[in-house]
């Protein structure tokens, strides 16, 4: 019995603890691409608990079957390794299908008979004139005439052509009461927004941006200029940024790998949310005190 009670108590507590860790520890997002003149493999995953456990997907072209039919693998991710659980697409034992158009006899094309030209119906006015004056009066659209004295007022047409607004729809002047109210609201709530944005600084950080491969253009001179321009970016290299691109002067090709990883800090989002909530609560209390004080003053008078 005690064992059952411990299980009933410990299991929910453990789940809540794991959920709290997932909402506090950093989250990592990783994207990786690999290809040679076309995309051969693409992988993306989102990992919780500081990058320990998550969910990922991988799209692989050319491993099994025809390159035109990619294989999609979905499963959990342990650190950086994807455990395949569900595979969508061609399997290992499925025979490769030839590209569309090969091995298929083209069916003879038979010209479709031309449809007989349909007679265009005569316009309504022509039919009405042919049928008689009574039908012409029936097809004629009635004229909508506004009753006398209910037309648009003269000042609306005048203000439309003059571009001036009537006194009851004028924009708030910089020194008017509406402008002062808007300025007071801005002065009251803008510090909360600035504080929240300040606490969100660094919530998303780039941990890795690696590019390695080779590129070749149709003109070797252009290839040299492009590789030289990319080599100037090596001055910005650091722990996160790494660019290694060589030139292929023999053929036009693009091959290599790309990997990028971001780190998201949920704790900063929670801190920013708590700061906004505290600011809203303080201003609500202050307005409530001012309202109570105003009511008490009115009662004394």
For residue range 148-197, list pLDDT tens digits in order: 444 545 444 444 444 454 555 555 555 567 888 888 888 888 999 999 99
Tell me: the pLDDT tens digits for 93-128?
A: 555 555 444 444 454 555 544 444 444 555 544 454
Alpha helix segments (H runs only) across the chain: 2-24, 124-131, 133-139, 154-162, 177-199, 220-231, 266-300
Distance CA 292, CA 156 (A): 46
Phi, psi of 207 (to 5 degrees): -95, -30
**Residue 94 pLDDT:** 52
DSSP label at 217? -
**Run of H or E residues at 206:** strand 204-216
pTM check: above 0.75: no
* Per-residue tokens: 84: 């395949």
Distance CA 245, CA 42 (A): 19
Tell me: the pLDDT tens digits for 201-210?
A: 989 999 999 9
Q: Residue 178 half-sphere exposure, CB side, CA atoms within 13 Å?
A: 5
**Residue 47 pLDDT:** 93
């Amino acid at each position: 019995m005690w064992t059952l009670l411990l299980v009933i108590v410990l299991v929910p507590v453990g789940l809540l603890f794991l959920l709290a860790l997932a909402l506090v520890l950093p989250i990592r997002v990783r994207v990786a691409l690999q290809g040679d003149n076309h995309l051969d493999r693409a992988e993306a995953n989102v990992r919780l608990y500081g990058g320990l456990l998550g969910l990922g997907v991988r799209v692989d072209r050319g491993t099994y079957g025809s390159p035109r039919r990619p294989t999609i693998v979905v499963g959990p991710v342990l650190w950086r390794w994807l455990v395949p659980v569900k595979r969508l697409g061609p399997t290992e034992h499925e025979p490769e299908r030839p590209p569309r158009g090969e091995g298929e006899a083209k069916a003879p094309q038979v010209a479709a008979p031309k449809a007989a030209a349909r007679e265009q119906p005569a316009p309504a006015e022509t039919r009405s004139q042919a049928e008689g004056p009574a039908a012409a009066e029936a097809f004629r659209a009635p004229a909508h005439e506004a009753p006398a004295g209910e037309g648009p007022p003269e000042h609306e047409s005048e203000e439309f052509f003059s571009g001036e607004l009537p006194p009851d729809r004028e924009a708030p002047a910089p020194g008017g009461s509406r402008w002062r109210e808007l300025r007071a609201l801005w002065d009251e709530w803008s510090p909360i927004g600035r504080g929240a944005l300040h606490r969100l600084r660094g919530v998303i950080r780039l941990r890795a941006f690696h590019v390695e491969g080779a590129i070749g253009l149709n003109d070797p001179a252009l290839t040299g200029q492009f590789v030289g321009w990319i080599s100037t970016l090596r001055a910005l290299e650091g722990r996160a940024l790494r660019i290694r691109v060589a030139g292929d002067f023999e053929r036009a090709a693009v091959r290599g790998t790309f990997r990028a990883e971001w780190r998201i800090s949920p704790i900063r989002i929670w801190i920013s949310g708590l700061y906004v909530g505290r600011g809203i609560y303080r201003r609500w209390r202050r307005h409530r005190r001012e309202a109570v004080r105003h009511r008490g003053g009115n009662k004394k008078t």
